[in-house]
Amino acid sequence: MAVSFKGPRKFLTILLFIAPTLIGLFILSVYPITYNIYISFNNRNTFRPRANCEGAPVGGEVPPAWQTRLTQVLEPTCWEVFSNTKTVGRGQFYSFSDPLGENYTKLFGDLITRESLISLTRLLGALSPLLIVWGIRRYLNRQISPPRSWWLWPLGVVVVYGLWQLLDASAAITQLQDTGDFFVVLFRTILYVLACIPLFFLMGLVLALILNNEHIRGRGIWRSLLIVPWAVQSYIAALVWQFFFRGEVGTINQLLKALGIVEKGPTWLGDPNRPWLAFAAVVIINLWMSYPFFTVVILGALQSIPHEQYEAAEVDGANWWDKLTLITLPLLRPAVLPAVVLSSITTFQMFNTVWLVTRGGPVSGAGKPGFTEFVMLHAYRLFQDQNFGRMGAFAVIVFAMLFVATLFSLRYTRITKGAYE
Amino acid sequence: MKKLNPFVKFLFYAVLVVAVIFAVYPIWFMFLASIRPGQSLVSLDLAGMFWPTEVTWSNYQAMLFGTPIPGSNPYDFWRWVYNSLKVAGLTTIATLFISTSAAFAVSRFQFRGREMLLIFFLAIQAFPGILSLIPIAQLLTAMGLFGTHLGLILAYSAGALVFNTWNLKGYFDTIPVELEEAAMIDGAGPIQSFIRIVLPLSTPALAVTAWFGFLGGFSEFVLASILLAGKPGQDTLPVALWKLSGSQSVPWGQFAAGALLISIPLLIIFFLTQRFLVSGLTIGGVKG
């Protein structure tokens, strides 16, 4: 390594370089995460604005000393430095919830019961053939001359369908959806990711294959026009598309009417009887915003595939399907996988676009999460409803999931290695 | 090279045309709406949805020189632009100033806990801003910064610090160590080799990182809408345009005009800097 020096001087130099960033991150990231954990054990789910800094009795009982101590350390309104901005409100004290994990149990609802766990097993069991197919193909493709095995996928889907009926997975989902908001929100967010990513890939692949064909004229211009959505800021895109999907005045419905297809278009975003329309709308909008990224990534990878490979395959009598599945797709893998992983994480935690378009709706009943109320929107709604304790618990769980996903994605994106290589 | 089957060729062009319409129409529609007089968006004929039938520049006039929201101050549009530039610009400058040296240290120095530090950065990166709304709001309230631009800058800085450190570390890793070793033989210390050798070599990377960081702050919506507490005159562009688009008293054409006025400079810069895009975006994974 470039720098070889030892002892206290090394320590001080490194500190000089890193300390400002670390201090910044400690205050602006570590502290908020810690505070979220703290607040997730509090009963701050209705209007309880004041922190019990002095350990005054609540409901006739003096809180234990460790609780008061924790509050004094973590609650900024208790800190001496900020005593001049202290709010002297009238509201109640918030305190630790009783039992301590109440926010978590309320959040999960009935998800941790025997019945729900059986349903979950049934659901995962019905889907397991896909995992098995993936494993077999992974093994086969390691062989020196791997046999063709793409047909395992349709076979797997058929087996999944059979198991789905056999294990009655639909009933399992219905049961799980009754357990509470957490499962519903998470399930729909995963559905959203699963609906979006293959579409991104497919549209990116088709366009990149066409743009990579040298018989097409003006490829530079086509490419520039096709990646325009990438340059549009997400909130502007969301607001314009929101206008497109409006009911009476919405552009899409007006277009349908002008073309004489339907007299009165559907209520895209707010129809509780047909919530799939709103779901489809946010998928289309996300597709519009994200396919350019995939097109550019795939096009770049296509251009690095040597021509000789295709020529050799043609000599061997390969048709276009053989070339696509045996040469193009396997060689695209290393470039596309990081894009898929990163887009999945971004889509999972998408807020702006979905919120600006649907506000999480349509809602089928009071207090229930709306059909497009994905993970981040749910967190935001808990915040708006002043369910601070519950939001803290939700944030802790989502954070854990995202952290695991990020660590997992490291294997594919090699984020710790030099990124500009 | 073999000739392409004419039917396939036709199919390819058809796909391209449909895709281009899908890609460009929303922006073209915005332009049409921005030059259309009054509220006539509600009843349109087929031609009017694709081609300008009546042309007026009054929406642009209202945005640029008038009062976009009735009853508020004239030149409000410029106020929003100024607010956004200020918040995003100061965030970028401050965090870049702080995090460049940290990125260098993580890239070059060997010390105990370095791996842990990298994992720590990743963990923080996995924590989206919305989830820390409560602690940040609480902290800013205690500091008396709730509803101020400085508070918003602080809230943005968390994400920007990690993003910058990651991006720049990735770039520093690609600069050959031999240059610095040569300098050290000539008696340069780590600080000197950082300032005299590595920094001058990284100007493009610094520019790209700054630009992405800036764009993130420039188009952020949620934190701004909450932490500025809707005080008039404080709004950043995303919040203000959002209010315009939903307002009943403001023609939608004015929103379209404002949105285009912001989008066009960004579109131009985007096409000038295209080639940096992929590397810049695949690294961080912390868009916005």
The phi-psi region of residue B112 (left if phi > 0; otherwise alpha if psi is between -120 and 50; otherwise beta) is beta
Q: What is the pLDDT of residue B82?
A: 92
Q: What is the pLDDT of residue A222?
A: 92
Q: Does B123 touch chain A (CB under 8 A)?
A: yes
| Tokens of residue A123, six digits | 């659901």
Contact status, residue B125 vs residue A410, Cβ threshold 8 Å:
no
In a domain, residue A170? The reply is: yes
Task: Kindly state whether residues A49 and A129 are assigned to the same domain.
Answer: no
By Cβ distance, the residue of A18, A248, A391 closest to B105 is A18
Q: What is the pLDDT of residue A416?
A: 40
User: Which of A179, A196, A226 is the C-terminal boundary of a domain?
Assistant: A179
* CA gap A87, A108 in Å, rounded: 34
| Cα A363 from chain centroid (whole Å) | 21
CA distance A151 to chain B (A): 26
Torsion of CA A118, A123, A124, A128, to 10 degrees: 130
To test the contact with chain A by mutation, choose from B93, B127, B262, B274 the residue with the greatest count of A C-beta atoms within 10 A, namely B127
* CA gap B148, A85 in Å, rounded: 15
User: Which of A119, A148, A179 is the C-terminal boundary of a domain?
Assistant: A179
Q: Does B252 touch chain A (CB under 8 A)?
A: yes
Q: What is the pLDDT of residue A210?
A: 93
Rg (CA), chain A: 27
In a domain, residue A117? The reply is: yes
Burial string for A249-279 (b: 16+ CB within 10 Å, else e) reads ebbbbbbbbeeeeeeebebbbbbeeebebbb
Contact residues, chain A, for B16 at CB < 8 Å: 207, 210, 216, 222, 226
Q: What is the pLDDT of residue B42?
A: 56
Structural domain for A56, as ranges: 40-100
Three-state DSSP class for B36? coil
Beta-carbon count within 10 A of B23 CB: 21
For chain A, give the secondary structure using H, E and C.
CCCCCCHHHHHHHHHHHHHHHHHHHHHHHHHHHHHHHHHCCECCCCCCCEECCCCCCECCECCCHHHHHHHHHHCHHHCHHHHHHCCCCCCCEECECCCCCHHHHHHHCCCCCHHHHHHHHHHHHHHHHHHHHHHHHHHHCCCCCCCCCCCHHHHHHHHHHHHHHHHCHHHHHHHHHCCCHHHHHHHHHHHHHHHHHHHHHHHHHHHHHHHCCCCCCCHHHHHHHHCHHHHCCHHHHHHHHHHHCCCCCCHHHHHHHHCCCCCCCCCCCCCCCCCHHHHHHHHHHHHHHHHHHHHHHHHHHHHCCCHHHHHHHHHCCCCHHHHHHHHHHHHHHHHHHHHHHHHHHHHHCCCHHHHHHHCCCCCCCCCCCCCCCCHHHHHHHHHHCCCHHHHHHHHHHHHHHHHHHHHHHHHHHCCCCCCCC
Beta-carbon count within 10 A of A130 CB: 15
| Tokens of residue A242, six digits | 């929101």
Q: What is the pLDDT of residue A285?
A: 93
CA angle in degrees (0–180, nearest 5) for A42-A46-A48: 70
Q: What is the pLDDT of residue B38?
A: 67
Residue B130 CB partners (closer than 8 Å, separation 6+): A351, A376, A379, A380, A383, B222, B223
Task: Kindly state whether residues A156 and A279 are assigned to the same domain.
Answer: no
| Tokens of residue A317, six digits | 């009598």
Domain with A407 in it: what CATH number? 1.10.3720.10
Rg (CA), chain B: 24
* CA gap A176, A186 in Å, rounded: 11
Q: How many residues does chain B have?
A: 288
* Residue A361 identity: G
In a domain, residue A139? The reply is: yes
By Cβ distance, the residue of B124, B259, B282 closest to A25 is B124
Contact status, residue A185 vs residue A398, Cβ threshold 8 Å:
no
Task: Kindly state whether residues A137 and A187 are assigned to the same domain.
Answer: no
Three-state DSSP class for B258? helix
* CA gap A223, A207 in Å, rounded: 9
Beta-carbon count within 10 A of B127 CB: 24
User: Which of A179, A198, A217 is the C-terminal boundary of a domain?
Assistant: A179
CB contact under 8 A, B3 and A242: no
Average pLDDT of adjacent 10-residue blocks, chain A of 421 residues: 63 88 90 90 80 78 83 82 69 79 82 85 89 89 79 89 87 83 89 94 94 88 90 90 83 81 80 86 93 91 87 87 86 85 88 89 78 90 88 91 82 49 32
In a domain, residue A419? The reply is: no
Task: Kindly state whether residues A146 and A212 are assigned to the same domain.
Answer: no
* Residue B203 identity: T
Q: Which of A353, A339, A27, A282 is nearest to B220 (CA)?
A: A353
* CA gap B167, B100 in Å, rounded: 10
* Residue B193 identity: S
* CA gap B129, B211 in Å, rounded: 20
In a domain, residue A11? The reply is: no
To test the contact with chain A by mutation, choose from B130, B152, B163 the residue with the greatest count of A C-beta atoms within 10 A, namely B130
Q: How many domains does chain A have?
A: 3
Q: Does B32 touch chain A (CB under 8 A)?
A: no
Task: Kindly state whether residues A315 and A357 are assigned to the same domain.
Answer: yes
Residue located via tokens 């945005």: B63
CB contact under 8 A, A224 and B144: no
Task: Kindly state whether residues A382 and A276 are assigned to the same domain.
Answer: yes
| Tokens of residue A351, six digits | 């807020």
In a domain, residue A30? The reply is: no
* CA gap B173, A420 in Å, rounded: 8
Task: Kindly state whether residues A277 and A321 are assigned to the same domain.
Answer: yes
Q: Does B111 touch chain A (CB under 8 A)?
A: yes
In a domain, residue A294? The reply is: yes
CB contact under 8 A, A352 and B135: no
In a domain, residue A372? The reply is: yes
Task: Kindly state whether residues A258 and A379 are assigned to the same domain.
Answer: yes
Domains of chain B: 6-56 (no CATH), 76-249+257-284 (1.10.3720.10)
By Cβ distance, the residue of A349, A406, A421 closest to B174 is A421
* CA gap B86, B78 in Å, rounded: 12
Task: Kindly state whether residues A128 and A259 are assigned to the same domain.
Answer: no
Please count the residue pairs, one from chain A and one from chain B, whose beta carbons lie less than 8 angstroms apart: 305
Q: Does the model's ipTM exceed the 0.95 cut?
A: no
The phi-psi region of residue A55 (left if phi > 0; otherwise alpha if psi is between -120 and 50; otherwise beta) is left
Task: Kindly state whether residues A272 and A402 are assigned to the same domain.
Answer: yes
Q: Which of A337, A344, A353 is nearest to A402 (CA)?
A: A344
Q: How many residues does chain A have?
A: 421
pLDDT digits (tens, 9 = 90+) for B191-239: 888 888 888 888 888 888 898 889 888 988 889 988 887 677 888 889 8
Task: Kindly state whether residues A226 and A252 are assigned to the same domain.
Answer: yes
Residue located via tokens 């056999």: A166
By Cβ distance, the residue of A235, A345, A419 closest to B242 is A235
CB contact under 8 A, B109 and A17: yes
Beta bridge partners of A14: none
Contact status, residue A53 vs residue A75, Cβ threshold 8 Å:
yes
Which residue stretches of chain B have pLDDT < 50? Answer: 280-288
Contact status, residue B57 vs residue B35, Cβ threshold 8 Å:
yes
pTM reported for the whole predicted model: 0.87
* CA gap A107, A389 in Å, rounded: 10
In chain B, the residue whose alpha carbon lies closest to the alpha carbon of A298 is B278
In chain B, the residue whose alpha carbon lies closest to the alpha carbon of A14 is B105
Beta-carbon count within 10 A of A365 CB: 6
Q: What is the pLDDT of residue B278?
A: 53
* CA gap B252, B29 in Å, rounded: 12
Task: Kindly state whether residues A335 and A286 are assigned to the same domain.
Answer: yes
